[in-house]
Structure 1
Amino acid sequence: MKRPLKTTMLFFTTLILIFAFNVSTSHANVQEDEYLLEQEKQEKIFQEIIESVPNGTYSGNDITTNALDPSSYNPQAGDILYTPSTQCNDDNRETCKGITGHVGIVNPSTGTVTHIQAPGYLPKSISLNSWFTKYPKTVVVRHKNSTKASNAAKWAYDYYIWGDGAEKTYKVTIDQDLTKTLSLNTTYCSLIVWQAYYYGAGQKLSLNIPVMPVLFVNYAPYHDMYVLMKIGY
């Protein structure tokens, strides 16, 4: 009699595990669908916002010589660079899922940008010339407080280029408490910018989980920031 009992218990245990897995998978699919809908909504808002944003240029020459021309981008530490120029710009939802768009933060030297490109990459500091070559369409978001912006830029550069975050790999994580993500061995582009302002400038940016790159543009007024210009449009 013991054998059939064990077999029955094993059968029901298997059923429970299958049910739990299906519920978990279903919940994950619902989360993904909700996120994609929210992303589409935010991208529509973004399109409306940039219609009134002034056009700017980046010549790729000595950045200090561009200050006299109001339309030329004269970078400042802490500037957030948002671009839709990624592998997801064809808006094909069957092949392009997850976070679309990309962001980086201008370093204190104003000559480089801290960012992490995609899965398989580590955090990196690239020149502005490289950024605009790779991402021809870019929207510049600037903080009204230059001290906070500079502190955020310094934190991102110190931590992700020379510090403990230099070896972190790319992976989008979902955690309601973004402060906990600093202890992970992974990061993603918009998380770097969020952490830079939180740990470097003491400012908690109220953005969705995970952080959508486009929200730095859409929510700029709520964070004492403004959209300076759009380049390459």
Structure 2
Amino acid sequence: MRRYLSLTLSFIFAFILWSGNLAFAAEKEVTQENVNAASFTAKPGDIFYMNKSSNTYFVGHVAIAISSTTLVEIIGPGDHPHTTSIQDFYNRRGNSAVKVYRYSDSSKAAKAATWAKNYQINYSDAEYGFDSLLNYETGKMYCSKLVYCAYYYGADVRLNTSYASIGGATLKISTPSDITSSSGMSLVYTLN
């Protein structure tokens, strides 16, 4: 009888500890420390940011998720807008961290993703280059301009911008850090 009582009390105690851990896990904030790459799921409109490295030139690189597995991006001179898998984006990062930012309005983010997908299909021959930020039909595109235009035209969202002197002209541009520091964007995942 004692053995049965001891076993029953042990079971009850273990159950209380286990159920307490479940409640704690449900309340725990999702951070880079408790989420791994395999468990992270991208949403349409998420912005993938790679910080400065040898393959992202001087200011970093951004791409926009169009699904849970696919991004639209343009990398640099000689490149054109194309789709790539999120895994390939991670694999190219070298020593750079990859950070994922999410816009607060998922409906608008999804609209931006749709615009980016359609842009990639209709303007797949666009060349990497700089010109007016809002003129996407000229055939000149760069990574953060693609993301900026996706949110501007696809979702009516104004992300942050900067000014730069390019070829003797001062142009309104959007850099990767402009995109990620914009109102409504929040860091949701980091892969170091």
TM-score (norm 1): 0.60
Q: Structure 1: state its 5+ residue gaps.
A: 1-52, 60-65, 67-72, 90-95
Structure 1 CA distance, aligned partners of 2:80 and 2:73?
9
Q: Aligned partners of 2:178 and 2:158: how far apart in 1?
A: 14
The residue correspondences of 1:76-155 to structure 2 (distance < 5 A) are 76-84=43-51, 86-87=53-54, 99-107=58-66, 109-135=67-93, 137-155=97-115
The aligned runs of 1:1-233 (5 Å cut-off) are: 54-55=31-32, 56-59=35-38, 66=39, 73-84=40-51, 86-87=53-54, 99-107=58-66, 109-135=67-93, 137-160=97-120, 162-163=121-122, 165-173=123-131, 175=132, 178-179=133-134, 181-208=135-162, 209-217=172-180, 219-220=181-182, 222=183, 224-232=184-192
> What amino acid does structure 2 have at the position aligned with 1:205?
L
| Runs of 4 or more consecutive aligned structure 1 residues displaced over 3 Å after TM superposition | none
Q: Distance in 2 between matches of 1:132 and 1:54?
A: 18
* More strand, by proportion: 2
1:7 corresponds to which residue? Answer: none
Partner of 2:24: none
Is the 1:86–1:102 contact (alpha carbons within 8 Å) kept by the matching residues of 2? Answer: no
Distance (whole Å) between structure 2 residues aligned to residue 128 and residue 203 of structure 1: 24
What is the CA–CA distance in structure 2 between the aligned matches of 1:214 and 1:54, rounded to whole Å? 21
Task: Give the counterpart letter for 1:80 in structure 2.
Answer: I
Taking the aligned partners of 2:144 and 2:116, their CA distance within structure 1 comes to 12
**Unpaired runs of 5+ in structure 2?**
1-29, 163-171
**1:201 partner amino acid:** A
Contact 1:79 1:140 in 2 (8 A): yes
Q: Deviations over 1:94-153 (max 9, x none)?
A: xx6xx520000001x321100001101111100111010012521111011111001100
Identical-pair percentage: 27
Shift of 1:216: 2.0
Secondary structure of 2:176's counterpart equals coil
For 1:139, what is the secondary structure of its paired residue?
strand
Alpha-carbon distance in 2 for matches of 1:200, 1:115: 16
Bigger helix share: 1
- Aligned with 2:173: secondary structure? coil
The separation in 1 between residues aligned to 2:126 and 2:113, in whole angstroms, is 18
Contact 1:88 1:100 in 2 (8 A): no
CA distance in 2, matches of 1:211, 1:57: 30
Q: How far off its partner does 1:182 sit? A: 1.6
Alignment partner, residue 43 of structure 1: none
Output the TM-score relative to the length of structure 2: 0.72
- Number of the residue aligned with 1:10: none
